[in-house]
Amino acid sequence: MENSESNTITFEALKSFCKQAYEAVGVPEQEAEIVSDLLVRSDLRGIETHGVMRLPTYIQRLEKNYVRKKCEFNIIRQKGATATISTNGSMGHVVSQKAMNLAVSLAEIYGVSWVSVKDSSHFGAAGLFSMMATEKDMIGYVCSNSAPLMAPYGGREKILGNNPLSYAFPSDKYPPVIVDFSCSVVSAGRLHLKRKKGEKIPLGWAVDSNGLPTDDPYQGTEGGGSLAPVGAHKGYGLAVANEMLSALLSGGMWSKNIINLHRPDPSGIQGTCHSFMVIDPECFIGRESFKKSADDYIATIKGSKTARGVAEIFMPGEIEARTEARRLEEGIPISKPTVDELVALAKRLNLSIPEFSH
C-alpha cells in the first residue's frame, strides 16, 4: 500500500471512467480514448500532478467550449522532414499524440524530423510523447510553452511559463531513459496538490508577489507570486529556449498571451505551442548498436559509487518505470481530495462512480 490517505483503482477502471466523462461532454470516442489513456498513464507512472486530478478542469473547459471537443490538426506548412500544425484550440493531449506520430513517420523516411504545433492547449506530461519515439527504437524530444507562472531571472513579473521539455532514449535491457521536467523547481501542479492537501511548500519552490521566498502554495500561484526557476539563470534560459523553439518557431502565442488553465474567465483558446523532434539512430551508430551502448552507459552510471546514505542511483525515467510496473499489479493510489472531485464529477455528469478500493 503506497499511501493510507488514498484510494486505489485499476488502470482500466480509471481510464474507462475518464473516457465516459469525455464522451459525456461530447468528445468523440477515439479522441476520448487517447486523452484518457494519456491522463491515467501519468498517474500510473507516478506523475500525479498531470494525471486525473486535472480531469475536472479539462472537462469544465470542454463544456464551456474553451477547448474544441473534436480536434483539428491542420498542416499549415510542410517541407521535407518538417511540419507546422495549427489546431484551433484542440485538446493538447490528442494533438500532441498525432504530432509525435507524424514526427516518428517523418524520421522513418528522413532520419531526423521536427514538427511544431500552435494554438493547442495543455498537454500534461511531456514525457508521454517523447517516449513514443522509443517504441520505434528512436530518440524523442518534446518541448512546450505554458501559461506564465515564473518571473525571468532578476525580475518579479510573472511572464514566463515553466515550459516543460522531455528527451527519451531507447535502451535494450533497461527501461528507456526519459528526462522529463519543467523549468521551475517544481511544477504548478505540485503547488495545487499541496494546497488541496492543506500542506505548506518548502522554501525555494516559489516566491510571493514581492519576489520573496514563500512556504504558502497559494502565494506562489494564484496569490500573485511566481514559481522559482530551477537552477536560477539556467532554468530561466531553458524556459526561454523552449518557448522560442515551440511558440516563436510555429508562429503561435507566447508569454502573457497564453491563457491559464485555472483562470475563471478564459476568453478564448489557451494557445499553447509544442515542438516534437525525432532522431533515428539508424542514421548514426545503428538502432541495435545504440540500444546496446545505452545499456552499457546506464550500467556504468548505475554502477558508480553512491553518496553516503543513498542505496541506489536511478536513471531519469527509471523510478516512473518501476512505479508503472508496480501500479499495473497493485492498482493506482489516488489521493482523497482527487477521489472526492472525481466522485462529484461522476454525479454531475450522471456517470457510475469509479470503483475505488481502500
Ligand X SMILES: NC(=O)c1ccc[n+]([C@@H]2O[C@H](COP(=O)([O-])OP(=O)(O)OC[C@H]3O[C@@H](n4cnc5c(N)ncnc54)[C@H](O)[C@@H]3O)[C@@H](O)[C@H]2O)c1
Three-state DSSP at 320 gives helix
Quick check: 122 binds ligand X (CB under 6 A)? Answer: yes
Consecutive H or E run containing 319: helix 318-330
Nearest residue (CB) to ligand X, 123 versus 174: 123
Quick check: 178 binds ligand X (CB under 6 A)? Answer: yes
Quick check: 176 binds ligand X (CB under 6 A)? Answer: no
d(CA 266, CA 58): 13
Applying CB under 6 A, among 17, 22, 58, 123 the residue interacting with ligand X is 123
Stretch that binds ligand X, among 96-104, 162-170, 299-307, 329-337 (CB under 6 A): 162-170
d(CA 112, CA 135): 16
Applying CB under 6 A, among 8, 10, 134, 187 the residue interacting with ligand X is 187
Applying CB under 6 A, among 40, 125, 245, 279 the residue interacting with ligand X is 125
Q: Which value, to the nearest 10 degrees, does the dihedral of the CA atoms of residues 215, 218, 221, 222 take?
A: -160
DSSP state of 150: B
DSSP, residue by residue, 175-242: PPEEEEE-SBSS-HHHHHHHHHTT----TTSEE-TTS-B-S-TTTTTTTS-EEPBTTTHHHHHHHHHH
Nearest residue (CB) to ligand X, 22 versus 181: 181
Applying CB under 6 A, among 9, 104, 126, 269 the residue interacting with ligand X is 126
Stretch that binds ligand X, among 117-125, 152-160, 197-205, 337-345 (CB under 6 A): 117-125
Stretch that binds ligand X, among 54-62, 200-208, 238-246, 312-320 (CB under 6 A): 312-320
Quick check: 290 binds ligand X (CB under 6 A)? Answer: no
Applying CB under 6 A, among 319, 325, 328, 344 the residue interacting with ligand X is 319
**In whole angstroms, how close is the CB of 151 to ligand X at the nearest point?**
16
d(CA 95, CA 77): 16
The cell for 254 is 507566447
Q: Are 252 and 48 in contact (CB under 8 A)?
A: no
Write the interaction track for ligand X spanning residues 47-76; mark x where CB under 6 A is met and - where it is not.
Answer: x-xx--------------------------
Q: Are 5 and 43 in contact (CB under 8 A)?
A: no
Site for ligand X, rule CB under 6 A: 47, 49-50, 122-127, 144, 146, 162, 164, 166, 178-182, 186-187, 190, 314, 316-317, 319-320
